[in-house]
Structure 1
Amino acid sequence: MTDFSHIRAVIFDKDGTLFDFRASWSDATDSLLAQLSGGDPVLALTLAQAILYDPARGGFDPSSPLIAGTLDDALGLLGPHLPDMSRTRLAALMHQSAAEAQMIAPLPLAPLLDALRATGRELSVATNDSEAAAHLHLKRAGILDAFAHVLGFDSGYTPKPAPDMLLELADRAALAPAQVMMVGDSTHDLIAGRAAGMVTIGVLTGLADRDTLSPHADLVLPDIGHLRDCLGAG
């Protein structure tokens, strides 16, 4: 087992890492598409294809902007198919959909996060979702207080795969990037972590497979529960 004893802080992605991506977002995406299309099945399918979502199986293409992209990315793809809807209105509906989405964790999160914090490590979240939605999802899951900081794509830093959010979180923890671990389910997460000079851990609770993540990760785990062993958290 690789020695991670030098790690003093852990940054988590949200969707696909703390929460199972498909279990959390398929129903919310179906509801959003139905609302945006006004019940028109042809338009709903066109919108689904624009964001690389397959409603028949409730599955996303790994390159879908809903996985690792930002709200602006999704707006740019959906907007052209909704010429009668303003960008402001579309953004509001997407924000509402994200806020109402029911996050499904792959395992009990509170005991895991408590165990990691008990080792003296600081925990934070860096997500390409909005900061407000992230706070809401974490609070609803009962784990918001486990994190020292939560940053989203709209927190003032260039989103992943740029390293800016991660470097900001390292600065807030007064740590060198090499003392920080970035944990995520997408190549955006891991590329950002590598660019920041951090240890990168991939997890398989998103849509990317091991072969996709491995070139960018120091280690790929089935889920974040395995961090207990990696970080000596019991």
Structure 2
Amino acid sequence: MSHPPSTLEVSTTPTRPGPIRAVVFDLDGVVVDSSAVMRAAFSVAYAEVVGPGPAPFEEYNKHMGRYFPDIMRLMGLPLEMEEPFVRESYRLAHQVPLFPGVRETLEELSERGIRMAVATGKSGPRARSLLDLLGVLHLFDHVIGSDEVPRPKPAPDIVLRALELLGMPPHQAMMVGDAITDLTSGRDAGVTTVATTWHGGDVEGLLAAAPDLVAHKPEELLVHCPAVPAT
């Protein structure tokens, strides 16, 4: 799908008051390009628990952003798939790259004094382990997994928890995600929602969810995140 020029776009929904002082990121499809590893881990888990036959990864991918046990329930698959899925995800973690431009964008946001958190469908320990392996864990003030809040996305709990830990009000924060669940979670938490398109998934469906902003490259986030004045 072709994209308009690489500038941060404003959708039909107006942005909330700023200035932005905190950014909450989803992980998979936004910070890290984990699709290939997740497909491999899902295929192994399906074969071990369910049996032979093609693993329905395309259906799994439609629920991306949700907590793995919730996806299993939605798909009618055994919860026992979680153990081999997590095992394989750890084993293959070294194959997961950052998206191009992410490291530089995170470093620049940090230099500007922007507080940052990750709010992910992964478990907290697995997310922190992956970010540490990639050498960017130190750039985030907090990394929160779906196992560390009462209700995972699309509920707002994980974004609200991030705001609480960051000490930021909703009107000074944005939620950056590649899935409708991210936008719903952020919107219900009262923050500015940003849809990303660099993951190459169902961009049209994502934009139909009316995010406040759209970013086609990580560095476009910088447009809305000016440096925090020194106090």
Sort the Cα spacing of 1:15 and 1:188 in 2 relative to 1 into closer, same or farther, 3 A.
same
Query: Any idea what SS the aligned residue of 1:78 has?
Result: coil
* Equivalent pairs, count: 209
1:181 aligns with 2:174: yes
Percent identical among aligned pairs is 29
- 1:148 is aligned, of 141, 145, 158, to 141
Aligned equivalents of 2:102, 2:33: Cα separation in 1: 12
1:163-215 Cα shifts (integer Å, max 9, x gaps): 11111111222221111110000000001111011000000115221443343
The Cα offsets for residues 47-96 of structure 1, whole Å up to 9 and x where unpaired, read as x23xxx2xxxxxx348633x1221212443321xxxxxxx5x54321221
Unpaired runs of 5+ residues, structure 2, are: 1-7
Answer yes or no: is the 8 Å Cα contact 2:195–2:213 preserved in 1: yes
Indicate which of 88, 91, 98 corresponds to 2:82. Answer: 91
AA aligned opposite 1:69: R
Q: Secondary structure at the match of 1:91?
A: helix
Where do residues 62-211 of structure 1 align in structure 2 (5 Å cutoff)?
64-65=62-63, 67-76=64-73, 77-79=76-78, 90-101=81-92, 102-204=95-197, 205=199, 207-211=201-205
Name which of structure 1's ranges 153-162 and 67-76 shifts more when overlaid on structure 2: 67-76
Does the 8 Å CA contact 2:20/2:174 hold for their aligned counterparts?
yes
Residue in 2 that maps onto 1:27 = 40
Q: Distance in 2 between matches of 1:17 and 1:61?
A: 20
Distance 1:166 1:18 in 2: 16
Amino acid at match of 1:213: L
Secondary structure in 2 matching 1:182: strand
* Structure 1: distance between partners of 2:204 and 2:109: 24
Secondary structure of the residue aligned to 1:160 is coil
Match of 2:4? Answer: none
Offset, 1:103: 1.7
Question: Separation in 2 of the partners of 1:72 and 1:30?
Answer: 16
| 8 Å CA contact 1:112, 1:225 repeated in 2 | yes
Alpha-carbon distance in structure 2 between the residues aligned to 1:24 and 1:105: 13
Distance change (3 Å), C-alpha of 1:26 and 1:72: closer
Local SS of the residue matching 1:157: coil
Contact persistence 1:106–1:223 (CA under 8 A): no
**One-letter amino acid of the structure 2 residue matched with residue 18 of structure 1:** V
Aligned partners of 1:230, 1:7: CA distance in 2, in Å? 7
SS where residue 24 of structure 2 aligns? strand
Q: For the Cα contact (< 8 Å) 1:191–1:216, is it kept in 2?
A: no
In structure 2, give the amino acid aligned to 1:141.
Answer: L
Q: Secondary structure at the match of 2:148?
A: coil
TM-score by length of 2: 0.79
Q: Aligned partners of 1:103 and 1:127: how far apart in 2?
A: 16
Listed as ranges, the gaps of 5+ residues in structure 1 are 54-59, 80-86
